[in-house]
Amino acid sequence: MKKLKRLFTVSAVFLLLGATQAVMADDWTLVPGESSINFTGKQTGEAFSGVFNHFKTDISYDPDDPSSARVKAVVNLTSVSTGDAQRDTALPTKDWFFVSSFPQATFDATGFQPIGDNRFTVEGELSLRGLIKNIVLPFDLKVKDNRAEMNATFTVNRADFGVGSGPWAEGKWVGLDVTITLNIVAERRTP
């Protein structure tokens, strides 16, 4: 009886895993070593740049049918690094990313709109610090054989997401506009 129960549990877990895989069809695998998410901002008038070291993607894209594309990216906000110990200590705290409550930022989008010359736009939901906003992301996408390279530069207003609260909510000391640069390399998963 006990054995049977365990067998049942194990098969249920496998079934569940299988189901998840089927729903999240991922036919492009991120190449982390060649991909990066960078950003630049301004602090007391001086530009600074930062990077998110850990992120994951879940990409389905058929070059013959861009409208069916689906992208989900999850960025680990604790992996932020700006090369300045003070900034890096402040960023995870409640005033900024508030990672203890919102450890991740996600971008969830479907349907690539080709606008010619390897350029596309995609509309998706950016979720950051508990707030979700629709953004339109323009990007370049080049696919060669089984390798895809995506590059995008876009600007978000950190105040839209409550990043920087209290006296930081205004842009006096730290600029409100943050420019994000994505360089994503993915390889087609061969069945």
Partner 1 sequence: MNTLQPQAKRYSLIAVLLHWLIALLFAGMIGVGFYMTRLGDTELGLKFSLYQWHKSFGITIMLLTLCRLGWRLTHTPPRNTNFRAWDQRIAATVHILLYSLTFAIPLMGWAMVSASPFNIPTLLFGEFHWPHFTFLSELPDKASAESMLKLIHKTLAYGAAALALVHMAAALRHHFILRDNTLMKMIPAATKARSTE
Residues binding partner 1 (CB under 8 A): 43-46, 84-86, 89-90, 93-95, 166-168, 172-173
The least distance separating partner 1 from the CB of residue 51, rounded to whole angstroms, comes to 19
Q: Are 190 and 146 in contact (CB under 8 A)?
A: yes
The least distance separating partner 1 from the CB of residue 20, rounded to whole angstroms, comes to 39
Considering Cα of 118, then 145, then 67, then 130, what sign does the dihedral take?
negative
The least distance separating partner 1 from the CB of residue 146, rounded to whole angstroms, comes to 45
* Maximum Cα–Cα distance across the chain: 70
Residues contacting 26, CB < 8 A, separation 6+: 58, 59, 60, 189
Q: Which is nearer to partner 1, 121 or 165 (CB)?
A: 165
For residues 41 and 178, what is the distance between their CA atoms, to the nearest angstrom?
5
The least distance separating partner 1 from the CB of residue 173, rounded to whole angstroms, comes to 6
The least distance separating partner 1 from the CB of residue 169, rounded to whole angstroms, comes to 11
As given in the structure block, the two tokens for residue 176 are 């409100």
Residues contacting 23, CB < 8 A, separation 6+: none
14 class by beta-carbon count within 10 Å (0-12 exposed, 13-18 middle, 19+ buried): exposed
Q: Which is nearer to partner 1, 68 or 93 (CB)?
A: 93
The least distance separating partner 1 from the CB of residue 158, rounded to whole angstroms, comes to 16
For residues 149 and 76, what is the distance between their CA atoms, to the nearest angstrom?
21
Q: Which is nearer to partner 1, 28 or 97 (CB)?
A: 97
Q: Which is nearer to partner 1, 116 or 166 (CB)?
A: 166
Q: Which is nearer to partner 1, 43 or 53 (CB)?
A: 43
Query: Do β-strands 80-81 and 177-188 pair in parallel, antiparallel, or remain unpaired?
Result: unpaired
Q: Which is nearer to partner 1, 166 or 191 (CB)?
A: 166
